[in-house]
Amino acid sequence: MIQGLGSLHPQLRQSRTAFLYSFFLEKAAQTISIRDQRSNPFIHILAPMALQSDLILHTILAFSGVIFLQGSTNHLAHAVWEQYAQALRSLKHTLTKYSQGESHVAIQVLLACLLLCGVEVCNADTQNRGLLHLKAAQQLISTADVICWDSPSFCLAAELHLYSLSLLPSCLDESAGFTFNEIDSTFNTLMHHHTPFFGVLCGCSFDLFRLIPEVYAVSTAIHDAHQTGNPGPMEQSLSRQGLLCRVQMWKPETLNEERQCCGLIYQLALLALLDIDPGNESNPTMDYASSYRRQLVVHMTRLLRRLPVESNYSTILCWPLAVLGGFAEDHHHRETILGYLSQMAEKYTQGNMYQTIRLLRLIWDSPRLRKKGPRCLQAAMETQGYRIMFT
């Protein structure tokens, strides 16, 4: 444990809160960052901010505690959930100030909502509490943008929000109340005003992340049309072709091999979603040995051999492994995916990674679910009775 924390904040004089703050700096903050400790904004932006804001302090202590509890005994459970309760009380108090016109607190509320979403995801949420926190964050992002759009804290919040929002279509349909139309403009803002800590989650490829909601919208629309025997409007086919071209043309903009591999795995997941063929959708095992999706899964397993779980980049692989895993038919490919996810879950101790393993097993045991194409993950979540966020 880091010594001397009590001089930084009165609450850190207590041994348990000091331990949770130390654990955040030494491990928990790294579980949600592809950047190393020297350039991790959760350490260099959020942790100092917590010393000035009780809301942020209680929130990061709760997040740190949930990560700790997932990988150890529960002797700190009471202290952790007390921090969570205090975070909620502080959030309510700060929201009251915000509603009374103190708009400068919007960034604190925004970051707290996003981190509380992370708390629920890491705690294997089955009650959609993480989604509620994310929806609250979406209602605050525009206000925070106006007030502090060029600050490091807003850039961190915006990237965390957009990362979570980009991956949402895998677990929610378009009727769930989230809007994706501002993703492009916010990504552009981030690219223009990024800080030295830019790229904490989307750094393997911003260009691919911004396409994920649109790829889901087009691929699910075409899939749904095929299920009714309708080829769908020409506009959908043209949109698919345009997206396919953009995804295929993407190239890694880095010499870092781990970053390259991570971006390429995301590219493969998008290509798999866009591979909509009426025959394959109705019978996913038909001629699978020579199918394009199988080639994508094979390529992904090769990339995993070049991207060790020890890499920081593995923390953002839950979503593409779930997508490509849902299309995997060969036993050895499934075992490779399960093995990698299991190592990720052991390293990061995030509950949603264990949930993803169970979700894939459910899909592989169900021919009905495997016929759902790009809606496969959504359908499996509906079958099991709760949704998983892959953030």
Output the pLDDT for position 72.
Answer: 72
In the chain, the N- to C-terminal Cα span, in Å, equals: 28
How many angstroms separate the CA atoms of 212 and 202, rounded? 12
Helix 257-274 and helix 292-306, axial crossing angle in degrees, nearest 10? 160
pLDDT at 179: 76
List, in order, residues 6 or more apart from 94 with CB less than 8 Å away.
55, 105, 108, 109, 112
pLDDT given for residue 173 in this prediction: 73
pLDDT tens, position by position, 169-187: 999 876 567 878 777 777 7
Low-confidence ranges of the chain (pLDDT < 50): none
Domain locations along the chain: 204-391
One-letter amino acid for residue 11 of the chain: Q
Q: What is the pLDDT of residue 283?
A: 55
The pLDDT assigned to 216 comes to: 95
- Continuous segment of H or E residues that includes residue 121: helix 106-122
Residues 381, 355 contacting (CB under 8 angstroms): no
Tens digit of each residue's pLDDT (9 = 90 or more) over 226-274: 888 877 788 999 999 999 999 999 999 888 999 999 999 999 999 999 9
Phi, psi of 379 (to 5 degrees): -65, -40
Cβ(46)–Cβ(111) below 8 Å? yes
Which residue, chain included where needed, has tokens 């909502």? 113
Angle at 314 between CA 262 and CA 121, to 5 degrees: 120
- Contacts of 37 by beta carbon, 8 Å cutoff, 6+ apart: 30, 43
Phi and psi based region of residue 17 (left: phi greater than 0; alpha: psi -120 to 50; beta: remaining): alpha
What does the block give as tokens for 5? 């924390």
